[in-house]
């Protein structure tokens, strides 16, 4: 994912799109592997996009496709692909009809929302009409969370999805310093699962949430059982 916007880096806007994308991708069996946040600077957007679009199956962007002067995402993506950024006739008509129906002038600034790289395909926007677009393996969507989410809903059915990642949680009453070595051994013995440890500190005591993730039910169950056995063994040792 490439999240675009000065406001994200200044802290003025607290991003909600990264977490939403991660939730949806996990649910449909696509691994979100990397997230970059870049400012509203054309060269930085181009550099980041070209660095990642050849590495991953899909790149999803958020932000910078509105009507104002600093909405430069469409231009930057066109530059990255080496194609012109131009007004799309279908997008112009969608927007013109929408503004006419609301009795609002279709200004030059609003027409900017119809600009996209030549050869792009629309991503429908059921919230505010102005479409996102797809070019190559790059899906360009709005930064406003409600619009980003609505656009993503339209994108998901077009993606090659995988098997859903399942998870199991084991509560461990010991801190990471105690479980680090045995947990590493379990991970090495169960390479088809992902084991994460999340420390907690409550009422003056350390504990850890252990989360086992996997796409194969049998392998997930085996790794979870190994983690549970480790916890019980450590409890017995502590009680001795």
Each residue's pLDDT tens digit, 70-101: 899 999 999 999 999 999 999 999 999 999 99
Contact (CB, 8 A) for 153 and 145? no
Cα–Cα distance measured from residue 145 to residue 80, given in angstroms and rounded to the nearest whole number: 25
Domains of the chain from N-terminus onward:
2-158 (3.40.980.10), 166-239 (3.30.70)
Segment holding 124, helix H or strand E: none
For residue 205, the cross-strand partners are 202
CA distances (Å), origin 68, targets 51, 78, 91, 144: 27, 18, 17, 14
Mean local confidence (pLDDT), 7-27? 94
Q: In what order do the strands lie in the sheet with 121-123?
A: 36-38, 2-4, 59-62, 138-141, 132-135, 121-123
Mean per-residue pLDDT of the chain: 95
Give the pLDDT confidence of 104-121 residue by residue, as tens digits.
Answer: 999 999 999 999 999 999
Alpha carbon 225 to its chain's center? 31
- pTM, to two decimals: 0.83
Cα–Cα distance measured from residue 118 to residue 113, given in angstroms and rounded to the nearest whole number: 14
Cα–Cα distance measured from residue 116 to residue 120, given in angstroms and rounded to the nearest whole number: 7
């Amino acid at each position: 994912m490439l999240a675009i916007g000065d406001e994200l880096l200044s802290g003025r806007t607290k991003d909600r799109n990264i977490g939403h994308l991660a939730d949806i991708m996990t649910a449909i069996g696509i691994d979100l592997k990397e997230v970059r946040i870049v400012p509203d600077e054309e060269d930085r957007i181009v550099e980041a996009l070209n660095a990642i679009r050849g590495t991953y199956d899909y790149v999803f962007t958020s932000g910078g496709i509105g009507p104002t002067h600093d909405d430069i995402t469409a231009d930057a993506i066109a530059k990255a692909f080496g194609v012109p950024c131009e007004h799309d006739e279908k997008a112009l008509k969608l927007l013109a009809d929408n503004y006419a129906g609301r009795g609002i002038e279709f200004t030059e600034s609003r027409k900017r929302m119809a600009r996209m790289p030549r050869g792009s395909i629309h991503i429908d926007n059921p919230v505010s009409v102005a479409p996102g677009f797809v070019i190559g393996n790059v899906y360009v969507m709005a930064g406003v969370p409600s619009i980003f989410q609505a656009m993503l809903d339209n994108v998901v059915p077009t993606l090659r999805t995988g098997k859903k990642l399942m998870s199991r949680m084991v509560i461990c009453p010991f801190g990471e310093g105690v479980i680090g070595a045995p947990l590493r051994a379990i991970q090495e013995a169960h390479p088809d699962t992902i084991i994460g440890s999340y420390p907690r500190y409550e009422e003056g005591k350390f504990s850890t949430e252990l989360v086992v993730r996997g796409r194969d039910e049998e392998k997930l169950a085996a790794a979870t059982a190994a983690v549970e056995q480790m916890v019980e063994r450590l409890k017995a040792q502590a009680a001795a």
